[in-house]
Amino acid sequence: MFAIVGMVVVIGAVLGGYLMEKGHLAVLLQPAELLIIGGAAVGTLLIANPTHILKGIADGLKQVLGKSVYGKDRYVATFKMMFELLGKMRRAGVIAIEADIEKPAESPIFNAYPLFLADHHACDFVCDTMRMIVTGGVDAFAMDQMMELDMEVRHHGANQPIAALTTVADALPGLGIVAAVLGVVITMGALGGPPEAIGHKVAAALVGTFLGILMCYGFVGPLGSNMTKALDEEHSYLHVLRVLIACAARNSPPALAVETARRAVPVHVRPSFAEVEAACKGEPAATGVAAEATTAA
């Protein structure tokens, strides 16, 4: 949401300053320059990247332009869910949760948290790791190393679309110069004509450089930076799950595992001890589950 607001502010500030200096908006309307720069940027993106990275860019931009799903309510709901799962395992034994982790979509525990089920990577991260606890024979350290490896691979793969978008952003000023050079070529061919026509063609050439720089530093570059922060939010969420599951693998009580994981939540979205306790006890203050269901809907 704020990304859209930011883009509107960029456009408003640039055009507002231009109009304050008595500039004419019609001069900036150069479809040919925009086609050269935008088309070449898309072309370089297609040349340099396979399909899965292009899809990752599209998914990342959708996430950036929407609302973050890793707020305080998401963490509260996750802690309540894991408290229920670990509590069931502690009361009835590890075999009791086998059906839940084998078919999470049919689990009464996981079904109460549709946003978690929709997050396939987080769901697989939890269920696949909990299978190791059910299977037995895997020590807590080895399990922690396995989760760390999974997170590293995920982080590396998710960074590739960001790197691709950043590369395009870095190329945009150069593509703007390409458009400007082509405009100069056209201008040279018009020498000898009316001064007004030559001036118009020079202005069109300069607009190419302007558009390339503006698209780089005003839009594409910041979008790539925002995608990096969104990836960091996901990584932090998985790290919290890792801490919680590692505590469970060491046979920590569910309350201790949840509290340890709560301390790993980034400060700006960290729920208080009272909020998590109320959620785990099912008290009215547990707003996380209702908020998650509303977000998923």
- The predicted model scores a pTM of 0.86
Q: What is the pLDDT of residues 115-168, one digit of tens each?
A: 999 999 999 999 999 999 888 777 889 999 999 999 999 999 999 999 999 999
Q: Is residue 255 part of a domain?
A: yes
Which two three-digit tokens encode residue 64? 């950036």
Contacts of 245 (CB under 8 A, 6+ apart): 126, 129, 130, 133, 143, 147
d(CA 167, CA 48): 10
Residue range(s) defining the domain that contains residue 281: 31-297
Q: Is residue 21 part of a domain?
A: no
d(CA 92, CA 90): 6
Q: Is residue 26 part of a domain?
A: no
- Total domains in the chain come to 1
Q: Is residue 273 part of a domain?
A: yes
pLDDT band at 283 (very low <50, low <70, confident <90, very high): low
Q: Is residue 8 part of a domain?
A: no
| Secondary structure letter of residue 150 according to DSSP | H
Q: Is residue 57 part of a domain?
A: yes
Contact between residue 176 and residue 204 where contact means Cβ atoms under 8 Å apart? no
Q: Is residue 13 part of a domain?
A: no
pLDDT band at 73 (very low <50, low <70, confident <90, very high): very high
